[in-house]
Structure 1
């Protein structure tokens, strides 16, 4: 006589829930949104579109890049917070929105530690100081001499967002080279680049992905990069540390985040798809030519890294005397 194995109802229900979560992205084929906190045409937008093109094949679903520019990614982060945690909405961001904004804005409208969950990181990058083609400077020293000569030591430097790492760097660089530099915040790197290309502003600080193509074509000139080493994409450009500005060797990281409460199966599915995409030679080449160092970072490692980055910049911001606004 054979005994029939009884399946307890709660176990059967739990199994159905797990199966449904695992199919959230793949089987249903619902469109996946990638929120971008900066305008179309900027570095983050370009990176998102490179990845979206390949992710759709791995996920078996349309992948849509949705730009929500404004306030240094704050609007996109707020949109992520109120998105349904169903595995169809992800936010591509670097450290500014996740780590810096909560330190400089009193009410950012989101709390990364409670409202978001890290999915995976995929690349690091560095910020850089560049001068427009309308200036004669070809180095940081020449830029400093030009500002002292043409502007009596006063100059304006564009930055992609207010109260961002680039804005704090403007003050540091000004003090180092004895210049009275003022930061001019923009709504993203794309409008900043437009003004640099039109010689409406003589200098700007942005990510290498934002600057590299125009640097290659001689439309702007990158004269210094952050980070602990020179960049392979522009090996002739010195680091700020080489120029005597130390303390900015920790580099930002691009990553994906999802709304808190998103099923783990959906997070794992997206993470696995991302790992496959950035392992493709053509994708790695495209991202590398954009000035990124491609490296997969799982969610647990990403969470640790973001906390450490926030702690580092909390001290820098406090020491600068900046008051959250």
Structure 2
């Protein structure tokens, strides 16, 4: 081989390698750019996390790109909400949230670091659900009435009840239950439902209030007992459990929601694409079955419908919070 040809081949090889590296880098950047994150404001293992992972698995098929769950627990979802506000409005950062982070937190916190109405835009709603009152497996009470009687008899009317976050609907529910039944109940806040459930399973705390998705698996396994639910009707997943209205506690008929939110300023075309992917995902029979089994009432809500539900929910709970005398922290 001539010296000239050797030199030519060496230059050609270097050029090919450089081109390959550039192509690989470009491909890597394209793959990174196509990854959508779903923020969750609570630890892995809780109801919100499980729902997000079910959505992510199928949404990536509908979107044709990677979808991952990004847990940012802390402050009842406040940290995840702040992360959404700071994200670029390009549709690649979403927030799966229920009522607490979107509606309740801004009403009970002086400076949450975000304004849901200004900083976020609803993408789509996926379901409604109810909160429930449950007792741990080590508590002998089998019904809500038996629990009340037990607290009065054994604790002199004093007791503790776990809640997933401070200043949450479960906290106000504990207050109302205590007032209506002549009890002195202290709501003990956790950093999400997963650590609360861990303490309930270990009989470290006798009772808790959280969403049906948080309780349902352990309720069915007999490890905790749901003894009352919110809403206007009994839940199909646990028809034996009475509603709070049946137990004489009215005012809890407006049930919370799960929705997906994006940063304000996200283009409408992007929002529409995401909403369609969500709609197709929750319409799949096996996805719907998984979510229903978790205690959700699955039903697609458009961006406008989710916004309207959020406003209605906020109106009801603003009154309850005001009447409770709660002062924003």
Q: TM-score, normalized by length of structure 2?
A: 0.90
- Of structures 1 and 2, the larger Rg is shown by 2
The 8 Å contact of residues 254 and 316 in structure 2, kept in 1 or not, is answered as: no
Dislocated runs of 4+, deviation >2 Å: 26-29
The correspondence of residues 284-323 of structure 1 with structure 2, limited to 5 A, is 284-323=288-327
CA drift at 1:27:
10
Q: Does 1:218 align with 2:210?
A: no
CA RMSD of aligned residues (A): 1.2
| Residue 28 of structure 1, CA deviation | 9.0
Residue 3 of structure 2 is matched in structure 1 by: none
Correspondent of 2:92 among 77, 88, 95: 88
Match of 1:177 among 175, 181, 197: 181
**Range 262-271 or range 234-243, more displaced:** 262-271
Task: Structure 1: give runs of 5+ residues left out of the alignment.
Answer: 1-25
TM-superposed deviation, 1:178: 1.3
Shift of 1:305: 1.2
Tell me the distance in 2 between the aligned counterparts of 1:183 and 1:304.
30
Give the TM-score taking structure 1 as reference length: 0.91
Instruction: Give, in whole Å, the separation in 2 of the partners of 1:263 and 1:204.
Output: 41
The equivalent residue for 1:274 is 278
Residues in 1 aligned to 2:243 and 2:314: alpha-carbon distance in whole angstroms: 22
C-alpha distance after superposition, 1:13-55 (max 9, x if no partner): xxxxxxxxxxxxx999610000000000000000000110100
- Choose the corresponding residue for 1:124, options 121, 128, 134: 128
More helix by percentage: 2
Q: How many residues align?
A: 300
Listed as ranges, the gaps of 5+ residues in structure 2 are: 1-29
Partner of residue 164 from structure 1, selected from 151, 163, 168:
168
Deviations 1:125-165 (A, max 9, x none): 00000000011011011101111122111100000000000
Q: Deviations over 1:222-264 (max 9, x none)?
A: 0000001000000000000000000101100100000011111
1:86-235 to 2 correspondence within 5 Å?
86-235=90-239
> Which of the residues 59, 66, 82 maps onto 1:62?
66
